[in-house]
Amino acid sequence: MKLLSILITITFVNVSPIMTGEYANSVKKTNKHIREASIKNPKGLETVISNIINGDKTFETLNFMLAIPDKANFRFTIQHEESFITNLPENIAIADQKAVQEAIFQVTGIPVPNLRCNENYENDRRTLSWLGDSRRMYLSFVTQNVLTDAIDKGTPGFTNLKEICILIGLLRSMRFPDSYIKIARVDQDDNVCMLISQNGRFHYKPYDGYIAAARPMGRPVYNEHEDVLNEAMRWFH
């Protein structure tokens, strides 16, 4: 009977989200910080994005930090040891949002804004979705500018293809958050950026002095090697 009780408890915590309104508030605070930086120091904000993506974070973490904070739905899993109780996934998610705030402050000197009394949010799906849309609205054009600079910097050899690949992956997640990119990596043998979402694969590679979205040969498209900057402009305009 005791064992049955333990199993029922494990099953319950394994399917129940543990996020609270504190995470939603951390996303809102980061959004306000990003918005202030975009107004007061837009070039500085571009530097912030560049610094973050060239750090030691995994692509999955970068996605939640910058592109899809509303998709963070951490749960308990039975694979974790007891020590996991003192290091909840929600704390990690909040820490990632605070890392964005710290990166903005370090570059721009703009302090982290406070939330007003009427800006405290519950962590429900509708609230997080709205906050995620706001994040993507603030950062999509900034990230496009960072991508343009990275491509200019990398021409013609594109030794920074990994950086470019991460930026393209983030932009795709911003444009298509419901089918966001899960993996962004460079195939060193073919020198190709490979992006993988839950419903598709996308390849980008250096081609004739620019980064091209590589289409399957024989596919009836107007341009089998479309410049990724033209593709991104179409996404957000």
DSSP of 63-132: IIIII-GGG---B--TTS-GGGGGS-HHHHHHHHHHHHHHHHHHHH-PPPPPPPGGG-----HHHHHHHH
Domains in the chain: how many in total?
Answer: 1
The closest alpha carbon to 41, from 106, 93, 124, belongs to: 106
- pLDDT bucket at 90, cuts 50 / 70 / 90: confident
Give me the mean pLDDT over the 37-65 stretch: 97
Q: What is the pLDDT of residues 165-189, one digit of tens each?
A: 999 999 999 999 999 999 999 999 9
Q: What does the alpha-carbon distance between residue 219 and residue 121 come to, in Å, rounded to a whole number?
A: 47
pLDDT over threshold 80, residue 74: no
Residues facing residue 204 across a β-bridge: 193, 213
Q: Which residues contact 165 (CB under 8 A, 6 or more apart)?
A: 184, 185, 186, 193, 194, 195, 204
pLDDT over threshold 90, residue 10: no
Structure confidence at residue 116 (pLDDT): 84
Percent of the chain with pLDDT over 70: 80
Domain residue limits at 220: 2-236
pLDDT over threshold 90, residue 101: yes
Average of per-residue pLDDT values in the chain: 84
pLDDT over threshold 70, residue 163: yes
Structure confidence at residue 79 (pLDDT): 42
| Radius of gyration, alpha carbons of the chain | 20
More confident residue, 124 or 209: 209
pLDDT over threshold 50, residue 203: yes
- Residue 200's SS3 state is strand
pTM of the model: 0.84
Structure confidence at residue 73 (pLDDT): 66
Lowest-confidence segment of 24-28, 53-57, 75-79, 228-232 by average pLDDT: 75-79
More confident residue, 8 or 198: 198
The answer to whether 52 and 62 have CB atoms below 8 angstroms apart is: yes
Structure confidence at residue 180 (pLDDT): 96
